[in-house]
Structure 1
Amino acid sequence: MKTLLMHPDRDFDATVPKSKENDDYAQDIELGVLLDAMAAGDPYLREIAQAALFGAWGNDMGTILYRQDILKDCLANKDVVRLFYELAQEPFNRRNDRLYRPFGDEPSVKVSTSVRTLKDALDVLRRLRNTCNVYYKGFSSAGFTRFFKTLNDSLDDGYLASVNSDLEQLQFSSGVLISAGLGEGGKGVDFMLRHPQERDTHLIQRLTTSAPKSYTLQLHPRDEAGAQALGQLQNRGLGLISDALSQSAEHVFGFLKMLAAELAFYLGCLNLHDALTRIHEITTFPEPSSEPRIFSCRELRDTCLALTLKQPAVGNDADADGKQLVVITGANRGGKSTFLRSVGLAQLMMQCGMFVTAQVFSSSLRTGLFTHYKREEDRSMKSGKFDEELARMDRIADRIRSRSMMLFNESFAATNEREGSEIARQIVLALLDREIMVFFVSHMYEFARAFFDDKDVKTLFMRAERGEDGERSFRLREEKPLPTSFGADLYTAIFQTAPEPETADGTSR
């Protein structure tokens, strides 16, 4: 049996991939805030969410839409899904560690632990099936519908009764019956495990019924060698079924483990949705596109900023359909970096099959997310800030793939504007040749102007709003870049002194 609640055709890989690429963009888009909200204090939920998000770039269109439908079912049946998860997790509860005990090497140990594991696991599966049969009408997704059908087809009452009967016999409460023959040198051969004989308790029937002669050998309680020899004979017989039983137990055990892992992802999504609902933040299911050069959004919010501030974030609109480059300019602290994070988070969440914080979001599928944000200068003084930027870009160039998404934030500004602009322009052109979608936040006017004048590169230009009084709305508008760095803002931030304290009569000292 397979659960198939994360992929329509294969099991979910719950291991967290180790990659420098993942670490870089996770830091820059503040992914830890999102993971904490999904985990809600549960380390296991956080680990599963991290594995799902880091593996999002391998999902195709069918998988994304498949998960979206399942997640919609989960949002409509939150309590039921949590009940499913509790049942799937029951064998792994630390207070009930019977199913955690590893199967021993001895056949007798293998048989006893496997039988106990199967009995406990099948009891959980029976209750899970019955719970599904009670609530199945509230689910409509292909994933849950198939899951319910799998449970009913594979675990009908007749099958469960038959398995329970077999497991009762495999407990060998009346002893183990093994047949064998004599080989060369009087050694035992052709060991075979037999069904236990039914014992007739009626004395008259035992006396009147003819049966082959049988002999009984009783071991002395202190005969350790005899007990050891008898144990070896028993293991010879039980060895014929021990491997099959342990494989069956591991199969059932693996099914419940996979079910718990896949439901853990959706439980994390429910936790995130609850956290966003509490702060009245909007959510929607995005529209992935298999077409290249698709990107548009309305009221796109930075999910992690909203979770941090515990209030709805300011949203932005953008229409970059048909374009491959978005250049974002404007005043400091105007919302440029926030918009960049919101783009990366929304792309990642969409490709994971999740909802996003926006009214509308549509984007082409990407093969990866890469970020190049400004960093602090190398404290070891082995290289300058600009050298570090170039070295980091070189590492990205080795890993980036065609049709990825690249986010730049104030990159290559550690040198003079002319040199930094030219380097940035050449790098961006090389990325565009590989059909890589680029978002570039920059104060370098020469860089922005170069693409504004280049009519061969389809570019969307956005600028952070700034009122005449210096007030920020934290919204971006589709506007051409301006040849200004808003020096008045820098002067105020650096040189403005605190107002002099007033005396009791209202005059300054």
Structure 2
Amino acid sequence: MKAHLLYRDRDLDMAQALPSGSGALVQDLELETLFGAMAQGDKAVAAVVRQAVLTSLADVETILYRQDILKDCLRWEAVVRDMYALLVETIEVERKNYIGFGFHYPAGMLHRSVDVLQMFFGVLQKLRGLAEQNVDRFESEGLRALFAMLIAELSDDYLATIRQHLQRLKFRGGILVSARLGKGNKGEGYVLRKENAPDNSWIERLLSPRPPAYAFRLPERDEGGARALSELRDRGITLVAGATFQAAHHITSFIKMLRTELAFYIGCLNLRRLLTALDEPVCFPVPHTASERDHRATGLYDVCLGLSMARKITGNTVDAKGKDVMIITGANQGGKSTFLRSIGLSQVMMQCGMFVPAESFAANVCERIFTHYRREEDATMSSGKFDEELSRMNDIAAEVRPNSIVLFNESFASTNEREGSEIARQVVTALMERHIKVFFVTHQYEFAHGLHARNLPNTLFLRAERQEGGTRTFRICEGVPLVTSYGQDLYAEIFVGQETARVAVAR
């Protein structure tokens, strides 16, 4: 049995190594905030959403496959949560009671395997019941296939057969083993035998004389005889113990994998509840193939900022259809970095099959997602800030592939304007030639103006909006680069405001 709720043809591999650059992606996009909101304290959900989000999909069909399942989960949230709670409870009981499951001798292995199967028997019955009650409600391919599989493979006849086998495997009437004598009169060919069903009634068996039989009873203190008898027992049940162990392992693996893959959707449901409470919109994005160039959104906002501040965030509209490079300039503290983070978060969320924080969203999938943000100097740096920036850019260059996306936030600003602008120009030009999408937030006028002067059709220039008088709206609009970033606005707000306050206090 397979869950297949994240991929059509395989399970989620929790042991898969995360792509290079994942650490920078988590740091720059503040993904820990997203993971925490989705997990809500559930460690299993936290581990799964981290793995699923960071192992980004570049396959449109798989993205749509997950979207359809998530839509079903949103429509029938109570059913999905009930199923997840059942699986979590079962796995927790199994973990507490069967820590020493892997016994190496047949009798112990058989005993533990039968206990595990007995415990999971009731869970399988409940899962089939949930499937029968809800199979007609769900529309997604993944959930309908899961429910159909549970109904077909866990039929009444199958469950009855399991129940009978479990009763027999307890061997309440003892074990019947046959063997033959081999060389040196040593036993060989041990086979577990099924006892013949009695032909007469239990009253007749009780009153009729017993047939003659050869038997012996071990003395209570005969430890050697007990070991010899135990060895004979183990030889007889070795095959059935191995088969029962495999069956228990198979069912346990299915239960755990179903819990694991449902955990991703539980994380999405948790996030949706939080955003609904903040009155923030979400939508299911329209993914396009990697070779296309599309990036359009309305009401796009930074979901992590909204979660951190617990309030509604200003959304933005962008239309970058057919564009490879987006240069974002404008006033300091105008929302450029927040906008860039919203671009990265929406791309990451789309490419793991989630909804995105926007009123509408459409974009091409990207082969890889990279971030290159300015870093503050700290004790962990083995060289200067500029050398560290170049080193990270070198790492990205070694991994980036055509149809990837790179998000730059004030990169190469730790050197002088001319040198930083020239490096930025060469990097962006090289990425454009490799058909790599670029979003670049910069204060370097020489770099931005130089690109604008080339009048390239695949380049879009955006600017943080600033009203007359210096008010920031935190909206990003189309606009050519300006010489100033209006740092004097911040100076007046911070320093002149403080001076005015000191004068007022002095008076």
TM-score, reference length from structure 1: 0.94
Q: Any residues of structure 2 matched to 1:284-295 within 5 Å, and which?
A: 284-290=283-289, 291-295=291-295
Tell me which amino acid in the other structure corresponds to 2:102: F
Map Cα deviations across residues 3-55 of structure 1 (whole Å, 9 max, x no partner): 11111111112346345510101100100110011011112111111011011
Deviation at 1:489, TM superposition (A): 2.3
Identify if the C-alpha distance between structure 1 residues 500 and 22 changes in structure 2 by more than 3 Å, giving closer, same or farther: closer
Q: Distance in 2 between matches of 1:316 and 1:203?
A: 85
Hey, what does 1:240 align to over in structure 2? 239
Is the 1:328–1:442 Cα contact (8 Å) retained in structure 2?
Answer: yes
Identify if the C-alpha distance between structure 1 residues 95 and 109 changes in structure 2 by more than 3 Å, giving closer, same or farther: closer
Deviates more, 1:191-200 or 1:249-258: 191-200
Q: Distance in 1 between matches of 2:146 and 2:280?
A: 32
Map Cα deviations across residues 398-453 of structure 1 (whole Å, 9 max, x no partner): 12222111000011111111111110010011111221110000011111112112
Q: Distance in 2 between matches of 1:124 and 1:189?
A: 40
Give the secondary structure class of the aligned counterpart of 1:408. strand
Is the 1:17–1:54 Cα contact (8 Å) retained in structure 2?
Answer: no
Identify if the C-alpha distance between structure 1 residues 394 and 378 changes in structure 2 by more than 3 Å, giving closer, same or farther: farther
Q: Distance in 1 between matches of 2:501 and 2:319?
A: 48
Q: Paired residues, what number?
A: 504
Is the 2:330–2:463 Cα contact (8 Å) retained in structure 1?
Answer: yes
Deviation at 1:79, TM superposition (A): 0.9
Tell me which amino acid in the other structure corresponds to 2:185: G
Q: Distance in 1 between matches of 2:47 and 2:79?
A: 23
Identify if the C-alpha distance between structure 1 residues 427 and 124 changes in structure 2 by more than 3 Å, giving closer, same or farther: same
User: Is 1:375 aligned to residue 355 of structure 2?
Assistant: no
Q: CA RMSD in A?
A: 2.1
Identify if the C-alpha distance between structure 1 residues 157 and 500 changes in structure 2 by more than 3 Å, giving closer, same or farther: closer
Identify if the C-alpha distance between structure 1 residues 384 and 494 changes in structure 2 by more than 3 Å, giving closer, same or farther: farther
The percent of aligned pairs where both chains have the same amino acid is: 45
Deviates more, 1:32-41 or 1:385-394: 385-394
TM-score, reference length from structure 2: 0.95
Tell me which amino acid in the other structure corresponds to 2:478: E
Give the secondary structure class of the aligned counterpart of 2:460. strand
User: Is 1:152 aligned to residue 140 of structure 2?
Assistant: no
- The gaps in structure 1 that reach 5 residues or longer are none
Is the 2:180–2:187 Cα contact (8 Å) retained in structure 1?
Answer: yes
Hey, what does 1:176 align to over in structure 2? 175
Hey, what does 1:229 align to over in structure 2? 228
Is the 1:98–1:117 Cα contact (8 Å) retained in structure 2?
Answer: no
Q: Distance in 2 between matches of 1:331 and 1:502?
A: 29
Identify if the C-alpha distance between structure 1 residues 303 and 207 changes in structure 2 by more than 3 Å, giving closer, same or farther: closer
Give the secondary structure class of the aligned counterpart of 1:465. strand
Identify if the C-alpha distance between structure 1 residues 39 and 202 changes in structure 2 by more than 3 Å, giving closer, same or farther: closer
Hey, what does 2:458 align to over in structure 1? 458
Deviates more, 1:483-492 or 1:358-367: 483-492
- The gaps in structure 2 that reach 5 residues or longer are none
Hey, what does 2:119 align to over in structure 1? 120
Hey, what does 1:270 align to over in structure 2? 269
Q: Distance in 2 between matches of 1:44 and 1:401?
A: 32
Hey, what does 1:474 align to over in structure 2? 474
Tell me which amino acid in the other structure corresponds to 1:339: F
Q: Distance in 2 between matches of 1:232 and 1:224?
A: 12
Map Cα deviations across residues 329-362 of structure 1 (whole Å, 9 max, x no partner): 0011101000100000000000110001111111
Give the secondary structure class of the aligned counterpart of 1:498. helix
Q: Any residues of structure 2 matched to 1:74-93 within 5 Å, and which?
A: 74-93=73-92
Hey, what does 1:17 align to over in structure 2? 17
Hey, what does 2:443 align to over in structure 1? 443
Give the secondary structure class of the aligned counterpart of 2:500. coil
Tell me which amino acid in the other structure corresponds to 1:317: T
Hey, what does 1:484 align to over in structure 2? 484
Hey, what does 2:214 align to over in structure 1? 215
Deviation at 1:499, TM superposition (A): 2.3
Identify if the C-alpha distance between structure 1 residues 348 and 178 changes in structure 2 by more than 3 Å, giving closer, same or farther: same
Deviation at 1:89, TM superposition (A): 1.9
